[in-house]
Amino acid sequence: MSLDERFNKAAEDVKGLTKRPTDQQLLDLYGLFKQATVGDNETSKPGLLDLKGRAKWEAWNGRKGTSQEDAKEQYVSFASSLLQEYA
């Protein structure tokens, strides 16, 4: 299977988790997904009152400089560990 195929499968598989991962795990998953699909975060930082948007922005922005291929590999690996823990 190619990297893109493994990435897409992992993205689908995590939607079927039977238990909810921790907030930090979900933020890590989000940051890796955005870095893998979009690349570096070039959006403006959300305001102080948008706590959820700010946390997601920081999770993505923390991955800046990671190539999309590396982010996909990390996403597949992280998703696999979540599937073992929460499936």
pLDDT digits (tens, 9 = 90+) for 6-61: 999 999 999 999 999 999 999 999 999 999 999 999 999 999 999 999 999 999 99
Domains of the chain, CATH where assigned: 3-86 (1.20.80.10)
Cα–Cα distance for residue pair 81/50, rounded to 1 Å: 30
**Counting beta carbons within 10 angstroms of the beta carbon of residue 72, is it exposed (0 to 12), middle (13 to 18) or buried (19 or more)?**
buried
What's the pTM value of the predicted model, to 2 decimals?
Answer: 0.94
